[in-house]
Amino acid sequence: MPTTQFELPRTLGFWTAAAVVIGTVIGSGIFLVPSDMVKAVGSPSVVFVVWIFGGVLSLFGALTYAELSAAMPKAGGEYVYLTAAYGPLLGFIQGWTNIVVGFSASIAAKAAALYTYFAIFFPRFHHVFFTIHLPIGPNGGPLEIQYGQLFGVSIVVLLTALNYVGVRVGGGVQVATTVLKITLIIGIIGAGLLSGQSTAANLQTTMPAVPGGVAGFFAALVAALWAYDGWNNAGMLGADIARPGRNLPLVLILGTGTVVLIYLLTNVVYFSVLPAAHIGANQTVAADMMQRAVGPVGGAILTVAAIISIFASLNGSLLAGSRVPYAMARGGLFFKSMKFIHPRFETPASSLILLCVWSSILLLSGRFDQLYRMVIFTEWIFYALTAAGAIVLRRKYPDLQRPYKIWGYPLIPAVFVLVGIALLYSTLVTYPGDSVKGLILIAVALPFYFYWKKPTK
H or E segment at 421? helix 411-430
Side-chain half-sphere CA neighbours of 110 within 13 A: 34
* CA distance linking residue 12 with residue 24, whole number of Å: 16
Vertex 307 angle, CA 187 and 157, to 5° = 145
* CA distance linking residue 358 with residue 328, whole number of Å: 17
Query: Contacts for 400-406 with beta carbons within 8 Å, 24 or more apart?
Result: 400/71, 401/71, 402/67, 402/70, 402/71, 403/70, 403/71, 403/245, 403/246, 403/249, 404/66, 404/67, 404/70, 404/245, 404/248, 404/249, 405/67, 406/63, 406/64, 406/66, 406/67
- Residues 341-350 pLDDT 10s: 888 888 999 9
Residue 351 is predicted with a pLDDT of: 95
* CA distance linking residue 305 with residue 183, whole number of Å: 9
Q: What is the mean pLDDT of residues 325-338?
A: 92
Q: In this structure, which CATH number among 1.20.1740.10, 3.40.630.40, 3.90.580.10, 3.50.50.60 belongs to the domain 14-452?
A: 1.20.1740.10
Q: pLDDT band at 139, cuts 50/70/90?
A: low
Check: CB of residue 428 under 8 Å from CB of residue 435.
yes
Q: Which of 194-198, 203-207, 321-325 has the lowest mean pLDDT?
A: 194-198
Residue 333 is predicted with a pLDDT of: 92
**pLDDT at residue 220 tops 70:** yes
Check: CB of residue 40 under 8 Å from CB of residue 212.
yes
**pLDDT at residue 17 tops 60:** yes
DSSP 3-state of 136 = coil
**pLDDT at residue 130 tops 80:** no
Alpha-carbon separation of residue 137 from 112, 144, 156, 368 (angstroms): 16, 7, 21, 12
Check: CB of residue 181 under 8 Å from CB of residue 25.
no
Phi, psi of 58 (to 5 degrees): -65, -40
Q: What is the mean pLDDT of residues 189-198?
A: 89
Residue 389 is predicted with a pLDDT of: 95
Q: What is the mean pLDDT of residues 263-267?
A: 94
Residue 372 is predicted with a pLDDT of: 63
**pLDDT at residue 253 tops 70:** yes
* CA distance linking residue 172 with residue 52, whole number of Å: 31
What's the helix, strand, coil split of the chain in %, to 5? Answer: 75, 5, 20
* CA distance linking residue 132 with residue 149, whole number of Å: 14
**pLDDT at residue 6 tops 60:** no
Residue 126 is predicted with a pLDDT of: 79
Q: pLDDT band at 3, cuts 50/70/90?
A: very low
Q: What is the mean pLDDT of residues 184-196?
A: 90
Phi, psi of 242 (to 5 degrees): -70, 150
Strand partners, 75: 237
Residue type, 5: Q
- Cis before 211 (ω within 30): yes
Q: pLDDT band at 369, cuts 50/70/90?
A: low
Phi, psi of 142 (to 5 degrees): -60, 150
* CA distance linking residue 174 with residue 18, whole number of Å: 10
**pLDDT at residue 213 tops 60:** yes
- Residues 392-422 pLDDT 10s: 999 999 999 999 899 889 999 999 999 999 8
Q: Which of 136-140, 257-261, 394-398, 449-453 has the lowest mean pLDDT?
A: 136-140
Phi, psi of 219 (to 5 degrees): -65, -45
Please report the DSSP string for 46-69 in residue order: HHHHHHHHHHHHHHHHHHHHHHHH
Q: Report domain extents, the chain.
A: 14-452
* CA distance linking residue 378 with residue 423, whole number of Å: 12
Strands 142-146 and 128-135 turn out to be antiparallel
DSSP 3-state of 93 = helix
Residue type, 350: S
Residue 454 is predicted with a pLDDT of: 64
**pLDDT at residue 168 tops 60:** yes
Residue 340 is predicted with a pLDDT of: 87
Angle between helices 213-228 and 29-41 in degrees, nearest 10: 170
- Residues 59-104 pLDDT 10s: 999 999 999 999 998 888 899 999 999 999 999 999 999 898 888 8
Phi, psi of 322 (to 5 degrees): -70, -15
Which residue did the predictor score with more confidence, 176 or 5?
176
Residue 1 is predicted with a pLDDT of: 35
- Cis before 410 (ω within 30): yes
Residue 457 is predicted with a pLDDT of: 46
Q: What is the mean pLDDT of residues 344-371?
A: 87
- The distance in angstroms from the start CA to the end CA of the chain is 32
DSSP 3-state of 237 = strand
Residue 387 is predicted with a pLDDT of: 95
Residue 2 is predicted with a pLDDT of: 38
Residue 4 is predicted with a pLDDT of: 44
Q: What is the mean pLDDT of residues 321-335?
A: 92
Residue 373 is predicted with a pLDDT of: 66
Number of neighbouring beta carbons within 10 Å of residue 426: 17
Share of the chain above pLDDT 90, in %: 43
| Averaged pLDDT of the chain | 88
